[in-house]
């Protein structure tokens, strides 16, 4: 596709040159006007300009000179100025004159300039508009495209109507490139004038139907920007988008996948089993909102995934192999949010692969893995070694890897992880070493087996030479001790000894807090520490002072004999502290613990207040709450809701109507039916019962009619093929209100039509008319099921999930190209259609001819031929036309070499009567010799893998 | 999507700006500079930053920051991937991605940026497509048709880089002798997924020029053979401000090929003031500012093993460094892919002429670290 695209672009360059020639004429007409205005403007400005630096002045002269090379040189310098962020707006009049220059390079640079400054010089910018308007009508697609691109980039509100018109026209353009450009222009216009929303949505709706891979990504992008909430626009295009996905360019894939993720969450039911640990919240919410009854129902009923849901998962899976990291991440998040629990694992490998990409990519991917690994350890555990930290990693990468390793830790691997952590603690990157100690603390609380090991390891770290390491260890030990305060007085004593050497305030404060909290376990040491603190109180940091006051208060309550004076001294120091926080706290503590007349009641509870058992802090991942955001989004990365973030909705309790996604197929049928009704069958009965009974009666007599009727009836009888089943339901919806009845009735009719006349007439009819039924018929043995499925698969290559081989269906594919010739001679072909349908009727259930095929064409033509009522009819006919083409005959044996016997063969493209998988070959033997030939038969040696149905010896 | 792009050099000067929507003042970069100050090392600047009205997503490459401004929710990887593509494209066009080169070719760069994004949405990012529209300054059109495979990152990952100069629409298919080695792969968009899944063959219509056809990962069950061994001894004495260093490198598993471009990089602890060493082969440099010791050995001679020894002097009074620095080793081995991956054949369909085909294997040490 890339190559194709590139060749198109190269054409564009050539075509540009052509366009410029034509644009030259335009310039002649334009010139008088702008130059007058420009002169006026430049005159008025000249006074100001003189004060400016001379550089711009000579640029202006160069631009106004007659020499192309000078102009080009000037424009290059101007673009240089723009790129440096310098102001070059005063050159606008001089530059805009060159908008219709025939020099392509110059013109490009003028475009660059125009797009940059048009907003500031709106009046002058208008002068260039007509150039673009003219180019929009150019026969060359790339000139139309680039004209629209620049036109829509000029942010001048006054041209909104012109842009609107141009977009609408371009959206119906025959060239996918131009349609792509129009999809981009939609966003630009929307940001320029949001009032145009309604009209733009119409254009988006139209473009969403587009089948080109080039357009898909861009139009979904504008959908996301303009009307992300109009999910109803997606229904009809859902299957098409899924099927196109692999071939869309990579950036478009990202946009489409994230949109489809959101879509799927609104349309399908949860594939996550009840009771699964994964995302319990969702399930709960699901049941809370439901009645008890429903819950029972849901539990009893096994979950069956919607085929469309499956389609999405299946079609995105290959993209995990994309080289574009954004695409891989996007698929990964799609699986995370949409796939059944057991299938999510397939993304692991690809995500780990992304870790070998650039640093910034690693950063984002690691963030996402961190969130995932909290909920699903198993996913990443086999790849644990990929998260080992390298000394060359950036700090933020290191901390993320650490986070993930901690999340992955369990009883089995904790020893390996702790060993790894030991090396990290020694790292020269102290911030990282501190983070490692925190991580060890988390492991210790999460896995009770290793708590003691971790604790002793951390205590060892207390004698580390590095201050930050020691401080961090103290803080973590404090938290650990809190979780299990029993029998750790040894450690507290050890820390008290270290107290003098620790200078980091957080660590000092932590030790003081520990002393106070567990002062009953270290009754001798605690007052001593307080004594030391009293000495250095004034020199301490605020946080240490606060904890000193705390310690003093607690000791006063438990051991007032020894510490009463010390406490009072400290409270006095605190009373006159510079920090109001400390003065405040001191005042509070004094009132609380020291009994006096005023503080009656509270005083009694002082002990209970200060020495109440405190809940242990929970050491948990900072990524704990990130799963509220969709993975891979900016919001997830920042952990705050970014502007324009679209919430991922919860699964619906009951799946919305699935058939909304079928609409694509039914639409053309609806168009088609009335037109036929008018022309041929005015008094067509409306009710289903009648309709079908009618059908049965009329069938034998009125070929064309009944074929049409039974086409719908037979298609409604389909049961297995997913696509055809849906078709049938629509069809029956269309023709009758009661689909159940109709399908039962139709089944009869179709089976009848098949069984009776089939064998008898087949042999006769086929040669009688040279026309061949569409190739789809070869599959018809399967109770009429084949043709429908096949036709639909060929019709909407994208929309059907059926696996039917569409190779045979070349005829239905060709009409797109030939449709124009067909229109010119519709009459002749109406006849042929009748014939074909007669044939259909006799041989098979006639389903394939009409409904599905008309849908093929009309959906593909929709954008181009809308409003042409004939097109639908002719398209039906179109399908059959190839069969009337001359049969290509191949010579097998020339009569000279065959001594009078010549053999020719051709492929009649008829269904083989013996087996659907066989191909019929018609061999014509002509005997031009005098001898008569006998015993003609097929030789024994048939090549392997070839199955020949032998005919009897003639 | 992407609103604006600023290119910022190492010193923090904005030397190019491009806006795809209305202009955003360059003062928005101040938030970035703030973060850059805080991060000290340029690698440590967080790739995603939040400012009151915008989001800044940046990459740091070749000593340049590519800083993009976005206003609404967008997958950050989308932007990051795109910025890397911009850097790749500049490199592809001018041979390198540096400030001076960009300044020399500012008009071309600007036009490229214009072409790569439309209204902030990527339009054309394939280098061959871009080259059709904007000529690179010097057109190197090689007459030879080559397909070159290079294996980068000895340990587990590899890349197949293709250089294709074939006219027309050649349909190539490439098969491997041992595709089962490949554990995980990612492809250039031109490769057909289906064929890979069914036949383990790479089938594609290549774009013209140089591109990365495929990235792969070799499953870790096949034990990676490490081509060299390292004997090292670095110690710092408890008494006195000095230490010793002694490193020897020898070949281990090189499959009969010479190890080339061997280089050892050591990030020394902050306290190390200078190094007084002698190398039996190659040269060493010690950068006082960054504390990085680089020993460039070159070819590894198995008969006479390269050795680097001598003393390190430490800042007096500073405590002995806590841990020993780790060694990073770079090397290259020509004509062998250490993963054992072999290209079996490359076929061309769809065109009549006979192409020239060639495969070059290369092993490089990616991140070969020796912990001490």
pLDDT of residue A548: 92
Least confident range from A114-118, A577-581, A654-658: namely A654-658
Selected residue of B43, B77, B90, B103 to mutate for chain A interface (largest A Cβ count, 10 A)? B77
pLDDT of residue B369: 63
Q: Which of A80, A184, A318 sits opposite B193 (nearest CB)?
A: A318
CA gyration radius, chain B:
24
pLDDT of residue B81: 93
Q: Which of A84, A329, A423 sits opposite B77 (nearest CB)?
A: A329
Q: Which residues of chain A lie closer than 8 angstroms to B129, CB-CB?
A: 2, 5-6, 9
Size of interface A-B (CB pairs under 8 A): 224
pLDDT tens profile B282-301: 888 888 777 788 888 888 77
A321 and B77 within 8 Å at the Cβ level: the answer is no
pLDDT above 70: residue A878: no
pLDDT of residue A129: 86
Which residues have CB under 8 Å from A281's CB, separation 6+?
none
B73 and A153 within 8 Å at the Cβ level: the answer is no
A10 and B114 within 8 Å at the Cβ level: the answer is no
Phi, psi of B288 (to 5 degrees): -65, -35
pLDDT above 80: residue A866: no
Distance, CA of B233 to CA of A907 (rounded, Å) = 81
Q: Which residues of chain B lie closer than 8 angstroms to A324, CB-CB?
A: 81, 189
Phi, psi of A58 (to 5 degrees): -75, -25
Q: Which residues of chain B lie closer than 8 angstroms to A349, CB-CB?
A: 183-184
pLDDT above 50: residue A711: no
Selected residue of B1, B28, B73, B234 to mutate for chain A interface (largest A Cβ count, 10 A)? B73
Q: Tokens representing A456? A: 């002793």
pLDDT of residue A401: 92
pLDDT of residue A944: 55
CA nearest to A365 within chain B: B77
CB B309 within 8 A of CB B247: yes
A321 and B118 within 8 Å at the Cβ level: the answer is no
pLDDT of residue A912: 57
pLDDT tens profile A486-531: 667 778 888 888 888 888 888 888 888 888 888 877 888 888 888 8
pLDDT of residue B238: 63
B22 and A119 within 8 Å at the Cβ level: the answer is yes
pLDDT tens profile A6-18: 444 444 444 333 3
> Directed axis angle between helix A467-483 and helix A451-461, to 10°?
150
pLDDT above 90: residue B56: yes
A250 and B189 within 8 Å at the Cβ level: the answer is yes
pLDDT above 50: residue B149: no
CA nearest to A420 within chain B: B371
Distance, CA of A872 to CA of A878 (rounded, Å) = 10
Cβ burial, residue A565 (10 Å; 0-12/13-18/19+): exposed
Cα A299–chain centre separation: 31
pLDDT of residue A889: 64
pLDDT of residue B82: 93
Farthest CA pair distance, chain B:
77
A326 and B190 within 8 Å at the Cβ level: the answer is no
Distance, CA of B227 to CA of B213 (rounded, Å) = 26
Distance, CA of A394 to CA of A429 (rounded, Å) = 10
pLDDT above 60: residue A698: no
B44 and A391 within 8 Å at the Cβ level: the answer is no
Of A799 and A308, the one with more pLDDT:
A308
Distance, CA of A743 to CA of A728 (rounded, Å) = 8
pLDDT tens profile A292-301: 444 444 444 5
pLDDT tens profile A451-472: 888 888 888 887 777 778 888 8
User: Is any Cβ of chain B less than 8 angstroms from the Cβ of A213?
Assistant: no
pLDDT above 90: residue A256: yes
CA nearest to A352 within chain B: B184
pLDDT of residue B57: 93
User: Is any Cβ of chain B less than 8 angstroms from the Cβ of A356?
Assistant: yes
pLDDT above 50: residue A429: yes
Confidence band of A951 (pLDDT split at 50, 70, 90) = low
Confidence band of A656 (pLDDT split at 50, 70, 90) = confident
Q: What does the buried/exposed string (b/e) look like for A294-321 if buried means 16 or more CB atoms within 10 Å of the residue's CB?
A: eeeebeeeeeeebbbbbbbbebbbbbbb
User: Is any Cβ of chain B less than 8 angstroms from the Cβ of A427?
Assistant: yes
Which helix (H) or strand (E) segment holds residue A741: the answer is helix A739-755
pLDDT tens profile A619-635: 777 788 888 888 889 99
The proportion of chain B whose per-residue pLDDT surpasses 90, expressed as a percent, equals: 13
**For residue B260, what are the β-bridge partners?**
B332
B111 and A221 within 8 Å at the Cβ level: the answer is no
pLDDT of residue A744: 42
Interface of A with B in 153-182 (CB under 8 A): 153, 155, 181
**Smallest Cα–Cα separation from B21: which of A89, A116, A676?**
A116
Q: Which residues of chain A lie closer than 8 angstroms to B74, CB-CB?
A: 634
Q: Are strands B182-187 and B362-364 parallel, antiparallel or unpaired?
A: unpaired
CA nearest to A351 within chain B: B184
| Local structure of residue A945 (DSSP, 8 states) | T
Confidence band of A485 (pLDDT split at 50, 70, 90) = low
pLDDT above 80: residue A219: yes
Distance, CA of B326 to CA of B83 (rounded, Å) = 32
pLDDT above 80: residue A347: yes
pLDDT above 50: residue A606: yes
Is A906 strand, coil or helix?
strand
pLDDT of residue A61: 84
pLDDT above 90: residue A725: no
pLDDT above 60: residue B242: yes
Cβ burial, residue A539 (10 Å; 0-12/13-18/19+): exposed
Farthest CA pair distance, chain A:
143
Cα B318–chain centre separation: 37
pLDDT above 60: residue A286: no
Interface of A with B in 632-651 (CB under 8 A): 632-635, 637-638, 640, 642-646
Cβ burial, residue B197 (10 Å; 0-12/13-18/19+): exposed
pLDDT of residue A397: 92
Q: Which residues of chain B lie closer than 8 angstroms to A421, CB-CB?
A: none
Q: Quick one: average pLDDT of A730-739?
A: 42
Distance, CA of A800 to CA of A169 (rounded, Å) = 30
Q: How far is CA A885 from CA A646, A770, A838, A846, in A?
A: 54, 9, 19, 22
Q: Quick one: average pLDDT of B237-257?
A: 71
Average pLDDT of every residue of chain B: 77
Least confident range from A121-135, A761-775, B283-297: namely A761-775
User: Is any Cβ of chain B less than 8 angstroms from the Cβ of A430?
Assistant: no
CA nearest to A465 within chain B: B322
CA nearest to B169 within chain A: A3
**For residue A357, what are the β-bridge partners?**
none
The proportion of chain A whose per-residue pLDDT surpasses 70, expressed as a percent, equals: 61
C-alpha distance from A574 to closest chain B C-alpha (Å): 35
Q: What sign does the CA torsion over B126, B131, B132, B133 have?
A: positive
How much is the ipTM here?
Answer: 0.72
B323 and A191 within 8 Å at the Cβ level: the answer is no
Q: How far is CA A396 from CA A441, B51, B320, in A?
A: 20, 19, 27
CA nearest to A639 within chain B: B50
SS3 labels along A626-681: HHHCCCCCHHHHHCCCCCCCCCCCCCCCCCCCHHHHHHHHHHHHHHHHHHHHHHCC
> Directed axis angle between helix A851-865 and helix A663-679, to 10°?
100
Of A904 and B96, the one with more pLDDT:
B96
pLDDT above 70: residue A875: no
Confidence band of A939 (pLDDT split at 50, 70, 90) = low
B81 and A2 within 8 Å at the Cβ level: the answer is no
pLDDT above 60: residue B223: no
Q: Tokens representing B349? A: 């369909």
Distance, CA of A5 to CA of A180 (rounded, Å) = 13
pLDDT above 50: residue A415: yes
pLDDT above 50: residue A379: yes
Interface of A with B in 313-342 (CB under 8 A): 318, 321-326, 328-330
pLDDT above 60: residue A848: no
B73 and A633 within 8 Å at the Cβ level: the answer is yes
Residue A124 backbone zone (phi > 0: left; psi -120 to 50: alpha; other: beta)? alpha
Q: What sign does the CA torsion over B346, B349, B351, B353 have?
A: positive
Torsion, Cα of A790, A795, A797, A802 (10° steps): -30
pLDDT above 80: residue A552: yes
Highest-confidence segment of A149-158, A327-336, A668-677, B273-282: A327-336
CB A72 within 8 A of CB A105: yes
Q: Which residues of chain A lie closer than 8 angstroms to B124, CB-CB?
A: 5, 9
| Local structure of residue A383 (DSSP, 8 states) | G
Rounded to two decimals, the pTM is: 0.65
Q: Which of B22, B121, B125 sits opposite A184 (nearest CB)?
A: B121
Q: Tokens representing A586? A: 């001191």
Which helix (H) or strand (E) segment holds residue A602: the answer is helix A601-604
C-alpha distance from B183 to closest chain A C-alpha (Å): 9
Is A907 strand, coil or helix?
coil
Q: Which of B106, B207, B217 sits opposite A3 (nearest CB)?
A: B207
**For residue B186, what are the β-bridge partners?**
B215
Q: What does the buried/exposed string (b/e) look like for A726-764 if buried means 16 or more CB atoms within 10 Å of the residue's CB?
A: bbbbbbbbebbeebeebbebbbebbeebbeebeeeebee
**Smallest Cα–Cα separation from B262: which of B329, B337, B334?**
B329
Torsion, Cα of A354, A360, A366, A371 (10° steps): -120
User: Length of chain B in residues, anyone?
Assistant: 372
Q: Which of A116, A364, A645 sits opposite B80 (nearest CB)?
A: A364
Residue found under tokens 């058939």: A659
pLDDT of residue B156: 54
Q: What sign does the CA torsion over A145, A147, A150, A152 have?
A: negative
C-alpha distance from A188 to closest chain B C-alpha (Å): 7
pLDDT of residue B259: 76
Distance, CA of A482 to CA of A358 (rounded, Å) = 41
Q: Which residues of chain A lie closer than 8 angstroms to B326, CB-CB?
A: 391
Q: Are strands B307-314 and B242-251 parallel, antiparallel or unpaired?
A: antiparallel
Q: Tokens representing A884? A: 């009337």
SS3 labels along chain B: CEEEEEEECCCCCEEEEEECCCCCCHHHHHHHHHHHHHHCCHHHCCCEEECCCCEEEEEEECCEEEEEEECCCCCHHHHHHHHHHHHHHHHHHHCCCCHHHHHHCHHHHHHHHHHHEECCEECCCCHHHHHHHCCCCCCCCCCCCCCCCECCCCCCEEEEEEEECCCCCCEEEEEECCHHHEEEEEECCCECHHHHHHHCCEEECCCCEEEEEEEEEECCCCCCCCCEEEEEEEEECCCCCEEEEEEEEEECCCCCCCEEEEEEEEECCCCEEEEEEEECCCEEEEECCCCEEEEEEECCCCCCCCEEEEEEEECCCCCCCCCCCCEEEEEEEECCCCCCCCEEEEEEECCCCCCCCCCCCEEECCCEEECC
Highest-confidence segment of A553-557, A656-660, A712-716, A832-836: A553-557
A184 and B119 within 8 Å at the Cβ level: the answer is yes
User: Length of chain A in residues, anyone?
Assistant: 954
Which residues have CB under 8 Å from A462's CB, separation 6+?
A470, A473, A474, A477, A494, A495, A498
Distance, CA of A598 to CA of A606 (rounded, Å) = 14
pLDDT above 90: residue A775: no
pLDDT of residue A671: 38
Q: Which of B14, B22, B207 sits opposite A2 (nearest CB)?
A: B207
Distance, CA of A634 to CA of B77 (rounded, Å) = 9
pLDDT tens profile A515-524: 888 887 788 8
B193 and A109 within 8 Å at the Cβ level: the answer is no
pLDDT tens profile A909-930: 655 555 556 666 676 777 776 6
C-alpha distance from B3 to closest chain A C-alpha (Å): 12
Distance, CA of A707 to CA of B22 (rounded, Å) = 60
pLDDT above 80: residue A752: no
Distance, CA of A825 to CA of A247 (rounded, Å) = 36
pLDDT of residue B60: 93
């Amino acid at each position: 596709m890339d190559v194709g695209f590139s060749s198109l672009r190269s054409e564009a360059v050539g075509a540009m040159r052509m366009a410029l020639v034509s644009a030259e004429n335009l310039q002649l007409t334009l010139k008088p006007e702008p130059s007058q205005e420009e002169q006026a403007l430049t005159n008025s400005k000249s006074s100001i300009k003189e004060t400016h630096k001379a550089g711009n002045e000579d640029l202006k002269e160069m631009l106004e000179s007659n020499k192309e090379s000078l102009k080009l040189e000037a424009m290059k310098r101007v673009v240089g100025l723009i790129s440096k962020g310098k102001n070059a707006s005063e050159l606008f009049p001089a530059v805009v004159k060159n908008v219709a220059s025939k020099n392509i390079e110059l013109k490009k640079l003028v475009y660059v300039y125009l797009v940059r400054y048009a907003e500031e010089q709106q009046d002058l910018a208008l002068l260039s508009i007509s150039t673009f308007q003219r180019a929009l009508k150019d026969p060359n697609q790339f000139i139309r495209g680039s004209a629209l691109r620049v036109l829509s980039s000029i942010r001048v509100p006054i041209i909104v109507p012109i842009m609107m018109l141009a977009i609408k026209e371009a959206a119906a353009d025959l060239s996918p490139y131009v349609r792509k450009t129009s999809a981009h222009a939609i966003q630009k216009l929307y940001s320029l004038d949001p009032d145009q929303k309604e009209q733009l949505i119409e254009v988006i709706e139209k473009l969403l139907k587009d089948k080109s891979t080039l357009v898909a990504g861009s139009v979904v992008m504008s959908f996301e920007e303009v009307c992300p909430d109009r999910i109803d626009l997606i229904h009809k295009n859902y299957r098409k988008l899924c099927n196109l996905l692999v071939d869309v360019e990579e950036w478009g894939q990202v946009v489409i996948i994230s949109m489809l993720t959101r879509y799927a969450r609104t349309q399908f039911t949860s594939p996550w089993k009840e009771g699964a640990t994964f995302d319990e919240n969702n399930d709960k919410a699901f049941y809370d909102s439901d009645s008890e009854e429903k819950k029972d129902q849901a539990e009893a009923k096994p979950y069956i995934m919607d085929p469309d849901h499956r389609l999405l998962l299946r079609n995105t899976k290959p993209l995990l192999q994309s080289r574009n990291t954004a695409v891989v991440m996007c698929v990964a998040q799609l699986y995370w949010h949409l796939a059944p629990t057991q299938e999510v694992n397939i993304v692991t490998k690809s995500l780990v692969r992304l870790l070998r990409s650039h640093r910034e990519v690693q950063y984002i991917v690691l963030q996402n893995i961190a969130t995932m690994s909290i909920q699903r350890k198993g996913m990443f555990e086999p790849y644990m070694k990929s998260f080992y930290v390298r000394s060359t990693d950036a700090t933020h990468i290191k901390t993320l890897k650490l986070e993930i390793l901690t999340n992955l830790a369990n009883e089995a691997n904790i020893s390996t992880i702790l060993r790894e952590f030991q090396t990290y603690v020694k790292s020269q990157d102290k911030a990282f070493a501190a983070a490692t100690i925190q991580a060890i603390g988390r492991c210790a609380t999460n896995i009770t087996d290793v708590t003691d090991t971790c604790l002793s390891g951390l205590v060892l770290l207390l004698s580390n030479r590095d201050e930050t390491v020691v401080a961090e260890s103290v803080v973590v030990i404090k938290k650990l001790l809190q979780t299990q305060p029993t029998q750790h007085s040894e450690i507290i004593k050890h820390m008290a000894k270290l107290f003098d050497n620790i200078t980091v305030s957080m660590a000092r404060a932590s030790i003081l807090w520990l002393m106070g909290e567990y002062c009953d376990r270290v009754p001798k040491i605690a007052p001593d520490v307080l004594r030391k603190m009293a000495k250095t109180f004034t020199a301490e940091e605020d946080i240490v002072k606060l904890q000193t006051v705390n310690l003093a208060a607690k000791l006063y309550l438990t051991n007032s004999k020894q510490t009463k004076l010390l406490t009072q001294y400290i409270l006095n120091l605190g009373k006159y502290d510079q920090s109001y926080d400390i003065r405040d706290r001191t005042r509070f503590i004094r009132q609380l613990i020291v009994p006096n007349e005023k503080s009656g009641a509270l005083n009694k509870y002082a002990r209970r207040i200060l020495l109440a058992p405190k809940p242990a802090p929970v050491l948990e991942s900072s990524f704990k709450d990130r799963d509220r955001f969709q993975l891979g989004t900016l919001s997830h990365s920042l952990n705050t809701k970014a502007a324009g973030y679209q919430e991922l909705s919860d699964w619906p309790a009951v799946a919305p109507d699935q058939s909304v996604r079928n609409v694509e197929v039914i639409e053309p049928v609806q168009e088609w039916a009335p037109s036929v009704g008018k022309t041929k069958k005015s008094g067509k009965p409306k009710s289903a019962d009648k309709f079908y009974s009618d059908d049965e009666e009329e069938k034998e007599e009125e070929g064309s009619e009944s074929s049409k009727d039974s086409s719908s009836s037979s298609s409604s009888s389909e049961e297995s093929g997913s696509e055809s089943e849906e078709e049938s339901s629509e069809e029956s919806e269309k023709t009758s209100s009661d689909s159940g009845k109709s399908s039962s009735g139709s089944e009869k009719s179709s089976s009848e039509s098949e069984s009776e006349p089939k064998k008898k007439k087949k042999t006769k009819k086929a040669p009688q008319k040279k026309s061949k039924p569409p190739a789809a018929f070869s599959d018809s043995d399967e109770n009429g099921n084949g043709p429908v499925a096949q036709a639909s698969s060929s019709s909407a290559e994208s929309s059907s999930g059926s696996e039917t081989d569409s190779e045979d269906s070349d005829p239905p594919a060709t009409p797109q190209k030939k449709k124009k010739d067909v229109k010119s001679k519709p009459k002749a072909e109406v006849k042929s259609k009748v014939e074909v349908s007669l044939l259909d009727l006799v041989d098979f259930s006639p389903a394939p001819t009409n409904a599905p095929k008309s849908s093929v064409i009309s959906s593909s033509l929709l954008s181009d031929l809308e409003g042409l009522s004939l097109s639908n009819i002719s398209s039906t006919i179109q399908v059959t036309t190839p069969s009337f083409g001359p049969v290509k005959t191949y010579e097998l044996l020339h009569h000279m070499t065959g001594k009078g016997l010549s053999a020719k063969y051709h492929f009649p493209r008829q269904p083989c009567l013996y087996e659907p998988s066989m191909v019929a070959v018609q061999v014509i033997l002509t005997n031009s010799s005098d001898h008569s030939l006998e015993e003609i038969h097929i030789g024994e040696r048939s090549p392997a893998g070839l199955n020949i149905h032998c005919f009897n010896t003639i | 999507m992407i609103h604006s792009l600023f290119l910022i050099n190492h010193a923090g000067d904005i030397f190019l700006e491009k806006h795809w929507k209305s202009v955003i003042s360059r003062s928005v970069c101040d938030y970035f500079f703030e973060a850059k100050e805080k991060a000290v090392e340029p690698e440590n600047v967080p790739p995603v930053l939040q400012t009151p009205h915008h989001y800044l997503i940046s990459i740091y490459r070749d000593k340049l920051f590519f800083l993009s401004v976005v206003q609404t929710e967008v997958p950050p990887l989308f932007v990051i991937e795109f910025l890397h593509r911009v850097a790749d494209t500049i490199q592809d066009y001018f041979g390198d991605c540096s400030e001076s080169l960009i300044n020399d070719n500012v008009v071309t760069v600007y036009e490229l940026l214009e072409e790569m994004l439309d209204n902030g949405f990527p339009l054309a990012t394939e280098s061959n497509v871009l080259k059709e529209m904007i000529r690179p300054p010097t057109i190197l059109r090689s007459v030879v048709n080559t397909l070159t495979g290079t294996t980068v990152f000895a340990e587990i990952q590899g890349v197949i880089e293709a250089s294709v100069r074939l006219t027309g629409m050649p349909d190539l298919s490439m098969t491997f002798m041992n595709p089962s080695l490949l554990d995980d792969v990612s492809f250039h968009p031109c490769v057909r997924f289906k064929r890979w899944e069914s036949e383990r063959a790479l089938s594609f219509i290549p774009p013209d020029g140089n591109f990365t056809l495929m990235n792969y990962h070799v499953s870790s069950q096949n034990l990676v053979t490490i081509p060299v061994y390292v004997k090292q001894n670095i110690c710092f004495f408890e008494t006195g401000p000095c230490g010793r260093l002694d490193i020897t490198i020898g070949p281990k598993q090189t499959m009969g090929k010479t190890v080339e471009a061997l280089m050892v990089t050591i990030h020394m602890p902050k306290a190390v003031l200078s190094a007084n060493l002698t190398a039996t082969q190659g040269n060493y440099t010690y950068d006082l500012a960054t504390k990085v010791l680089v020993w460039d050995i070159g070819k590894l001679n198995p008969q006479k093993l390269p050795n680097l020894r001598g003393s390190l002097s430490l800042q007096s009074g500073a405590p002995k460094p806590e841990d020993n620095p780790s060694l990073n080793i770079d090397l290259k081995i020509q004509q062998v892919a250490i993963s054992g991956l072999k290209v079996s054949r490359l076929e061309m369909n769809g065109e009549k002429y006979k192409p020239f085909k060639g495969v070059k294997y290369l092993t490089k040490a990616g991140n070969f670290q020796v912990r001490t």
